[in-house]
Amino acid sequence: VASVRINDDAAGLSQVLALLAEHDPTGGKLPVAIETSQGLLVAGLRAAGRQVFAINPLAVSRYRDRYRASRGKSDAFDAMVLANILRTDAAAHRPLPADSELLQSLRVLTRAQQDAAWDQVTLTNRIRTLLRMFFPAALAAFERGGRHRLDSPAARVILAAAPTPTAAGALTPTELAALLRTAGRQRGIAAEADKLHGILRSERMHQPAAAEQAMGLHLQGLVRQLDAVCQTLQQLEQRIDEVFTAHPDAKIVTSIPGLGVQLGARLLAEIGDDRSRFADARALRAFAGAAPVTRASGKSSFVRARRAKNDRIAATGYVWALAAIRHDSHWNARSRSRRAAGDRHVAALRRLFHLMLGKLHHCLRHNTLYDPGKAFAETAATTA
C-alpha cells in the first residue's frame, strides 16, 4: 500500500504514525510488526495506542525463505515479510504485553542488577587470575580459608591500597586495622589485622620488580571497576526493594517458598503483570525454558531441554529451585524423589522449576497467596 524509509527519532515516529493513520482501514487498530521489543520507536508506537508485535529475527529469516529461494534481503523486503506475518499468521505470535509503568521500571532495574551481578563475577574472576600470576598471598588471605572474599569491601580496600606483594608486605598491623575500619569492619579488627599481616608477609615467589609494578597497576584498575560495580549493585538492590514492595503482586510472589525480594522481583519483572500474556502455565514454562522440546520424525523421538527461552528467567529458576529445596519440606521431598528416580542434580532442579512455575502462574492468575496444602493436595491424599 505504501513504503517509506524513516529515521529512529521523533520525526520518524510522526511520519510513520501519519502513514498508518492514512492507510489504516481499522480505525486505529492496525497492528505493527517490528524485529525488536526495545527502543524509543517501540515506546512511541505503544504510547500512540498501537499494538506492537516483536517478531524474532530468526522467525523473520524463516518466513523470508518462503518468498525468495535466493535468500536475497533488503529493508523494504523485510518490511513486506513482517507485514505478511501479521496478515496471515498473527494468531501464532504474541503482541508485547500491556505491563504497567511500575512493572516496566522494575524490569529495567532487575535487568541492570542481573547484568551488574554477572559483571561482578567476571571482574572477580579476572582479579583472581591476575593475583595467581604475581600475588598468591592475596588469594591465601582473601579466599583460601580467609574471612573475606575477593569482592568483599575489605579485600577491595586493601588491594587498592597495596596492589603488589612488596607494598602489602610493608603494611603494619595498625595500617591493616585502619584499612579494615575504612572497609566497614567493626569487630575483631585487631585479630583479623594480625592474621592478614602474617599471610601477606609470608615467603612467596615474586615477579621481577618492573613486571610486578605493572601488574599492580593493572590490579588497581580492575579493583576500581569492581568497586563501581559493587556500589551500583547496592543502589540497584535498594531501589528494587522499594519498587517491588510497591507492586500489588509482590505479596503473592513472596508467599511462594524460595522467593525473596530480589529473586521475586526478577521473576515478576520478566513475567509481567499483564494477565492475558500467557494463556496457561504451559506457555509460561515454554517462555522460561522449563518445558522440554520434542523432536520426532518417523520412529525416532528426542526430548531435549529448550534452548530458545528467556535466559534471565532460566538463570533465576535454578537459584529459586535451590532456595525452595533448602527452606521448604515439600519441595525438598519432591527433589529427593526425583533424584531417587534417576534424575541428575540439574535435571531435578529443572523439573522442580517446571512445577514451581505452574504454582506461580496459578497464584498470579487467581490473585491468591501460595497455600502448600492446595499445592500438594495430591501428595497429602496419597500419604493419607
Other CB atoms within a 10 A radius of the CB of residue 9 amount to: 12
HEC string for 109-173: HHHHHHHHHHHHHHHHHHHHHHHHHHCHHHHHHHCCCCCCCCCCHHHHHHHHHCCCHHHHHCCCH
> Cell 527502543 identifies what position?
39
Cβ burial of 284 (10 Å; 0-12, 13-18, 19+) is buried
Per residue in 194-235, pLDDT (tens digit) is 999 999 999 889 899 999 999 999 999 999 999 999 999 999
The pLDDT-based confidence of 148 (bands split at 50, 70, 90) is low
Q: What is the pLDDT of residue 146?
A: 53
In degrees, to the nearest 5, what angle opens at C-alpha 242 toward C-alphas 237 and 244? 90
Q: What is the pLDDT of residue 378?
A: 65
Other CB atoms within a 10 A radius of the CB of residue 225 amount to: 16
The pLDDT-based confidence of 383 (bands split at 50, 70, 90) is low
Can you read off the three cell numbers belonging to residue 321? Answer: 529451585
The per-residue pLDDT of the chain, averaged, comes to 92
Per cent of the chain over pLDDT 70 is 97
Among residues 277, 267, 276, the alpha carbon closest in space to that of 353 is found at: 267
Concatenated DSSP letters for 191-226?
HHHHHHHHHHTS------HHHHHHHHHHHHHHHHHH
Q: What is the pLDDT of residue 321?
A: 95
Could you give the CA distance from residue 150 to residue 185 in angstroms, rounded to a whole number?
A: 15
Per residue in 21-33, pLDDT (tens digit) is 998 888 888 999 9
- Does residue 77 surpass a pLDDT of 80? yes
pTM of the model: 0.87
The pLDDT-based confidence of 147 (bands split at 50, 70, 90) is low
Can you read off the three cell numbers belonging to residue 371? Answer: 497455600
Q: What is the pLDDT of residue 306?
A: 86
Per residue in 253-301, pLDDT (tens digit) is 999 999 999 999 999 999 999 999 998 999 999 999 999 899 898 889 9
Could you give the CA distance from residue 48 to residue 101 in angstroms, rounded to a whole number?
A: 15
Per residue in 99-145, pLDDT (tens digit) is 999 999 999 999 999 999 999 999 999 999 999 999 999 999 987 55
Could you give the CA distance from residue 270 to residue 103 in angstroms, rounded to a whole number?
A: 9
Q: What is the pLDDT of residue 379?
A: 58
In degrees, to the nearest 5, what angle opens at C-alpha 230 toward C-alphas 226 and 235? 150
